[in-house]
Amino acid sequence: MNKGKRYKSLYLPAWTIVAAVLTLLIIIAISTYRNMSRERGRMEESLVREGLVIIRAIEAGVRADFPSTAPDTRRLQKLVEEVSREPEVAAIILFDGGGAVVAANPPAENVREASSLNLLVREKGMVTRYRQLPEGAQAFEVVQPFRPYLVPPLLDTQGIRATAHGGPLSRWAEDKMIALSLRLATVETARREDRHHTLLMAAILVALGTGALYFVFIVQNYYLVDRTLDRMKSYTENVVESMADGLITLDREGTIVTLNRQALEILGSGREALEGRNIADVLGGGIGEILNSSEGQVFVRDREVDIRKKPDGRISLRISVAPLKDEKGQEMGSVLLIKDLRQIRDLQEKVRRSERMASLGRLAAGVAHEIRNPLSSIRGFAQYFMKRFKGQEEEEGYASVMVKEVDRLNRVITELLDFAGPKEPHRELHAPEHIVEHALKLLAPDLAARKVDVVKEYEPELPAIFVDRDQLSQVFINILLNAMESMEGGGTIRVSLKKSGSPQAFEIGIADTGPGIPDEDRGKVFEPFFSKKKKGTGLGLAIVHQIIEGHGGDISVESRPGQGTLFRICLPMAEAGKELV
């Protein structure tokens, strides 16, 4: 499960949390109330049982004293007084249906509600109620019919069933009722302790609920803050990684802490190899001087430095430095912005070269036109002298040399005119391998004569390219001729055709096993009139460069002395909808 889903599952709205806590408190309150009600019911049941036991004891005493006669009032009063000595007994009143008191302790007047009690007792069998004693205390009263004769059937001495029902005792007790009041002091103490315990538990639950609610809000806030920080971190990391310039952060000692993707590409090393190293070891001692200077402690903008990086040699960087401070303004280190100037320098060089070539082309076109007409006259006179001195070996030889040199000069002028005024390419859709094969076929006799082998490395299903077939054939022929002529004792030319790393580009590579190009000459190979060959004009590769640029492509050369030379050509692929020729 990813982090976003984890945050989503942990996040709950605040009202949901509050509602859940309130629901829990309501459930706890209802449960507490029900427990208290249940305890109250159990207490009343206990009091009823206790009252019934005492009443049964009085009934048993009366039955024992007066088994077959009406009870004596004095003895009945004494029995009631004896039973009333129990600490839980608050009062006992024995009265008839008219409310007249038969026996009571403490002494009592006639019972006024005797008739209503009689009706309730007849309906329910027993009446329980709470009443207030004269001293103000609460008591629980049990009222029920007084039935000293209601006993299980007994057997007399002859084995015949006998019963007290129907005798003088039963007639006397027919309208009698007894009211027994029990003190609630002990029960109230227990109830008070229960209430205190309940209140204590409620307070504990409220405290726990409040603490839980606070904890939930704290956790909720933590996850919200953590999620926000994670989003900000991801956003910041994406911004830093997407920067066009390299970004490096340093601590106070100049040790590299972090680098973005562009910085790794510029420095040409992995993150593990650079993090933890001192910046002076990576960019050279000059950067250390900038950081330690008074200017470096404030801000440095667009300072250009050169560093050495294998295998690319020396590269130029534009560096900006800013101090990195914490929230208290204390210096934590520095932030470096580095920009690779190689592409800018290449573009500047291309612009200068284009301007130089344009000026040279205009000059060459003017000179060529001025020279060509006199050359025609010189060649005509040379041919005249060849005919005039025919048979005279020395003079005829001089005239022949003049014709050949004029023809060679004319070829140079023709190439110069082609360079000065290149034709607009007539583009059509062609298969690149067909153009290469055509150039190799034209040069096959020369390749065989010089003992040069050709190795072809063509990717399958190559895309078509939209080019001028003749101009591109001229490009391949010029490069192949240079490669062939550089290998005097034979060698190998490797031709590769493949898709480039760019989705809209196509790459052609022509490599030889010749002596290579010296470092000081490698940057001049596409300049006009630069040639190391004895009879070279120095215009072949200049025209090649011009044709490739005219097709919107790019050409580069890679060479080391003694390791051969590789010409790499990148051309745009054909647009969709064009038909192959």
Domain span including residue 369: 346-420
Final residue of a structural domain among 391, 420, 449:
420
Same domain, 454 and 556: yes
Are 295 and 165 members of one domain? no
The answer to whether residue 352 sits within a structural domain is yes
Length of the chain counted residue by residue: 581
Alpha-carbon gap, residue 17 to 13, rounded angstroms:
7
Q: Do 317 and 414 share a domain, yes or no?
A: no
Tens-digit pLDDT profile for residues 97-137: 888 888 888 888 888 888 888 888 888 888 888 888 887 78
Same domain, 328 and 360: no
Instruction: Quote the tokens at residue 180.
Output: 């027994």
Using alpha carbons, select from 226, 39, 218, 61 the residue that is nearest to residue 148: 61
Asked whether residue 294 falls in the same domain as residue 162, the answer is no
Question: pLDDT digits over 417-427, tens only?
Answer: 665 555 677 88
Name the amino acid, one letter, at 399: A
Rounded to an integer, what distance in angstroms lies between the CA atom of residue 114 and that of residue 104?
15
Residue 532 pLDDT grade (very low, low, confident, very high; cuts 50, 70, 90): low
User: Looking at the structure, do residues 435 and 568 belong to the same domain, yes or no?
Assistant: yes
Residue 78 lies in a domain: yes
Residue that wins the pLDDT comparison between 514 and 397: 514
**Average predicted confidence (pLDDT) for the chain:** 77
In this structure, are residues 566 and 511 in contact, taking their beta carbons and an 8 Å threshold? yes
103-112, 358-367, 368-377, 474-483: which has the minimum mean pLDDT? Answer: 358-367
Q: Which of 340, 372, 407 is the last residue of a domain?
A: 340
Residue that is written with structure tokens 């950067």 in the block: 287
User: Does residue 199 lie within any of the structural domains?
Assistant: no
Q: Considering only CA atoms, which of 535, 510, 538 is closest in space to residue 452?
A: 510
Claim to verify: residue 104 and residue 131 sit in the same structural domain? yes
In a shared domain, residues 444 and 546? yes
What is the C-alpha to C-alpha distance for residues 413 and 365, in angstroms, rounded to an integer? Answer: 9
- 433 and 312 in a single domain? The answer is no
Residue 158 confidence (pLDDT): 41
* Same domain for 413 and 443: no
Note the pLDDT of residue 547: 84
pTM of the predicted protein model: 0.42
Examine the domain organization and report whether 149 and 45 are in the same domain. Answer: yes
Please write the tens of the pLDDT for every residue from 157-177: 444 334 445 578 888 888 888
Same domain? 316 vs 364: no
**pLDDT (0 to 100) of residue 297:** 53
Which of 192, 208, 231 is the last residue in one of the domains?
192
pLDDT higher than threshold 50 for residue 10? no
Count other C-beta atoms under 10 Å from residue 243's C-beta: 13
Helix axes 540-550, 469-486, angle to 10 degrees: 150
